[in-house]
Amino acid sequence: MENLWAPWRMEFIAPKTPRPQECIFCTQPAAHRDDDYYIFYRGEHCYMMLNLYPYNSGHLMIVPYQHVESIEKLNSTTLTELMSQAQLALRALHLVMKPDGFNMGINEGKVAGAGYAEHMHFHIVPRWNGDTNFMPVVADVKVIPEHLANTYHKLKQALESL
Ligand SMILES: [Zn+2]
């Protein structure tokens, strides 16, 4: 496993620069540099961005603009939009990547594996038949066959056409 090339994952394990103190799910959409942060869709209450440290190609997140750690604190309008965006994301992913299935969900709290526990976000990870062959269960490195920028532009285009 030591020869796999997954530079973005390695940077997460050993970051070159210290991780920012401020909340990335608040500062990145506020910066209005969506191409730099792979924010490919904006709604009224939630937005969608690619995960920079993906577990598979097309791994994306749906994030409410509101800074809350739990879905308990979201109102029903935001919750509804979050699931509507999940539906849109699946349509777009089907269009551009043709996955065979998806893992979807929320890691709520550090104990549950949330990297940024203070601002809740909903993960969607596309799955393909046979991809577990390449997905090491124990090791923390794996190959991502498609580069992020490529995925970003394809998804953005697909959503504009939906
Ligand atoms: Zn935040």
Q: How far is the CA of 66 from the centre of ligand 1 (A)?
A: 7
pTM, whole model, 2 decimals? 0.81
User: What is the spatial distance between Cα 125 and Cα 15, in angstroms, rounded to a whole number?
Assistant: 23
CA–chain centroid gap for 108, Å, is: 15
The CA distances from residue 131 to 77, 82, 106, 107, in Å, are: 36, 27, 21, 22
> Is 94 one of the annotated active-site residues of the chain?
no
From the candidates 121, 123, 147, 153, give the one annotated as an active-site residue: 121
Give me the pLDDT at residue 115, please.
Answer: 83
Q: Which residues, at least 6 apart from 14, have a Cβ–Cβ distance to it below 8 Å?
A: none
Q: How far is the CA of 132 from the centre of ligand 1 (A)?
A: 32
For the chain, residues with pLDDT lower than 70 are: 1-20, 133-146
- Can you spell out the DSSP letters for 77-92? HHHHHHHHHHHHHHHH
Give me the pLDDT at residue 17, please.
Answer: 59
Give me the pLDDT at residue 143, please.
Answer: 54
Topology of domain 24-161 in CATH is: HIT family, subunit A (3.30.428)
Give me the pLDDT at residue 3, please.
Answer: 43
Q: How far is the CA of 31 from the centre of ligand 1 (A)?
A: 13
